Amino acid sequence: MPTSSRRRSRFTIGFVLAAVLAALFTAAPAQAADGAITGLAGKCVDVAGAGSANGTAVQLYDCNGTGAQIWSNPGDGTLRALGKCLDVVDRSTADGAAVQLWDCSGGANQQWQVTAAHDIVNPAANKCLDVRDNNSANGTRLQIWSCSGGANQKWNAPASGGGGGTPSGFVVSEAQFNQMFPNRNSFYTYSGLTAALSAYPGFTTTGSDTVRKQEAAAFLANVNHETGGLVYVVEQNTANYPHYCDWGQPYGCPAGQAAYYGRGPIQLSWNFNYKAAGDALGIDLLNNPWQVENNASVAWKTGLWYWNTQSGPGSMTPHNAMVNGAGFGQTIRSINGSLECDGKNPAQVQSRVDAYQRFTQILGVSPGNNLYC
Q: Which domains does the chain have, with CATH numbers?
A: 1-26+161-373 (1.10.530.10), 29-153 (2.80.10.50)
Rg (CA), the chain: 21
* Type and span of the H or E element at 102: strand 99-102
Residues of the chain with pLDDT under 50: 1-32, 160-165
The dihedrals phi and psi of 132, each to the nearest 5 degrees, come to -55, 130
> Would you state the pLDDT for residue 44?
87
Calculate ∠ Cα 241-10-218, nearest 5°: 105
CB atoms within 10 A of CB 209: 14
> Would you state the pLDDT for residue 166?
53
Known catalytic residue: 226? yes
Q: Is the full-model pTM beyond 0.75? A: no
Letter for the amino acid at 81? A
Per DSSP, 213 falls in state H
> Would you state the pLDDT for residue 160?
39
> How far apart, in whole angstroms, are the C-alpha atoms of residue 186 and residue 233?
10
Q: Across the chain, how many H-helices and E-strands are there?
A: 10, 11
> How far apart, in whole angstroms, are the C-alpha atoms of residue 252 and residue 249?
5
99, 52 in Cβ contact below 8 A?
no
- Burial class from Cβ neighbours inside 10 Å (0-12, 13-18, 19+) for residue 113 reads middle
Say which of 215, 226, 235, 340 is annotated catalytic. 226
> Would you state the pLDDT for residue 267?
93
> How far apart, in whole angstroms, are the C-alpha atoms of residue 238 and residue 240?
5
> Would you state the pLDDT for residue 8?
32
